[in-house]
Chains A and B, each alone.
Chain A
Amino acid sequence: MDNKFLILLLQIINGNGNISPLLKLGLTYSQIAEYTDYAIEKRYISTKYKTLKLTKFGIDKIGKINKELYINNSNKWISPQEEYRIEKISIEEIYIPRKIKRNY
């Protein structure tokens, strides 16, 4: 299990539950199911009343993964959007994003 995906899954469960961020990272539906199974088995999430909820173990796990991944305080509850991360470029180069949001 990749902690990068696991922490995002746990954070999602703690939030609105929507799986779009996991799909955007390239996980398939069945892989998301597999991560969910793993999190239930490890008791990071409970399935009481058919609703998935983060447990105390889950909260602890988020803390542990945060430490492992050296995520600072501000990122503790919000994972970086890995899909937007770009490779380091030289100081001489100019980066032009593929899509620019326009508000006008």
Chain B
Amino acid sequence: MKKAIAHLSRKTTLDITNINTLNNLFKFKEWDSLLAYENYFARYCILFELLNEEQRKLILELTKNYLYFPNEEYQKHFYSLLKKVVKDYKLKCEKIFITTLLVPVDESNEFREIKSPDNLLYLTTGAFFKRNIDFNGIEFVIKERIDLLPDKIEDNWMVLLIDDFIGTGETAISAISYLRRIKEVEKTNIKVLSLVSLKEGVQEISKKGIEVITGITLNKAISEYYISPEKEEKIKIMITIENLIKGLKPNFKFGYLGSEALVTLIKTPDNTFPIFWKDFDNGAETIEAPFQRD
């Protein structure tokens, strides 16, 4: 099936006012300066063709609150979170190990390919990467993986598990139990640090007794943003939008486990509403999602 974006010279139902509305939205979001702007804009336009007025209105409203977090921002935000850690713990902590919260996928110790620990550490720590530094009296040690940490974490040490995004918290919780299974470490000496997090995920990790340090916390974009009866109306509209995606697994409706997220980092997490990341066929062509994952 041909891709809609590769076939732009076709008939459309869009008019200049639609284009102008989307253009103003892109300017408001400052997405017109992005490298992939042309692609994103074309995909939004093509998606708009398939939507009715109320569906378009909802997508416009949600897009206003959409967080696009480019990888250029990673280091800046990571450093400001790190400063907070230093400020809070400089008297209690001598050494901080920074590692990723990625766990081996299977027994062969293979790590997930796309979000490799090296990549994530490089993007966040930048100049720190593979170098130990001293920061306000705290020694920082970077380890690519959890299994490379010392076997015993002393009382005045800390393990900082970092990721760019915390969704439901599942990954972090499994990383914490993996860490505690293979190393001797108290819960109080483990912190999770994430650039962007869903409120629900932070709560789940906190329930396990682990503190989460995060730059941006996101609420559910419909059910925690609108109030009744508008909330129920928006939910109904989103259901009709998601009906366009044939074969969407129930687990991914409104984002993974109903996360209702509106965020794209290096990759768009599946917690985001799938209309923003899942390609679909409309019978005639493949509609590419604005912020597709692959």
Report A's interface with B, CB cutoff 8 A.
Answer: 9, 12-13, 16-20, 23-26, 28-30, 32-33, 36-37, 40, 47, 50-52
Contacts and interface: CB of A to CB of B under 8 A. Distances in A.
B42 A47 contact: no
Interface in B14-34: 14-17, 19-23, 26
B41 A33 contact: yes
B19 A32 contact: yes
Given A23-B9, A29-B42, A33-B41, A52 B14 contact: no
A50 B17 contact: yes
Contact of A33 (B8, B11, B12, B19): B19
B45 A36 contact: no
A29 B13 contact: no
B22 A33 contact: yes
Interface residues of B, number: 21
A98 B16 CA distance: 30
A19 B9 CA distance: 10
Contacts of A37: 23
Contact of B23 (A9, A12, A17, A33): A33
B79 interface: no
Given A20-B11, A37-B23, A30 B17 contact: no
B87 interface: no
Contact of B41 (A13, A18, A30): A30
B38 interface: yes
Nearest to A26: B9
Return the 9 tightest CB-CB contacts between A and B, nearest first.
A17-B15, A33-B23, A29-B45, A30-B41, A29-B42, A20-B11, A30-B38, A17-B16, A24-B9
Given A28-B42, A51-B17, A19 B22 contact: no
Given A33-B19, A33-B22, A52-B16, 14 more contacts: A9-B16, A12-B16, A16-B15, A17-B17, A24-B9, A29-B45, A30-B42, A33-B23, A33-B26, A33-B41, A36-B23, A47-B20, A50-B17, A50-B21
A50 B26 CA distance: 16
A29 B19 contact: yes
Interface of B: 8-17, 19-23, 26, 37-38, 41-42, 45
Contacts of A30: 37-38, 41-42
B166 to A, nearest CB: 34
Contacts of B20: 33, 36, 40, 47, 52
Contacts of A29: 8, 19, 41-42, 45
A32 B14 CA distance: 12
A52 B18 CA distance: 10
Nearest to A83: B9
21 contacts: A13-B16, A17-B15, A17-B16, A17-B17, A19-B12, A19-B14, A20-B10, A20-B12, A23-B11, A28-B38, A28-B42, A29-B19, A29-B41, A29-B45, A30-B37, A33-B26, A33-B41, A36-B16, A36-B19, A52-B17, A52-B20
A20 B23 CA distance: 17
A19 B38 CA distance: 17
Given A24-B9, A36-B20, A18 B45 contact: no
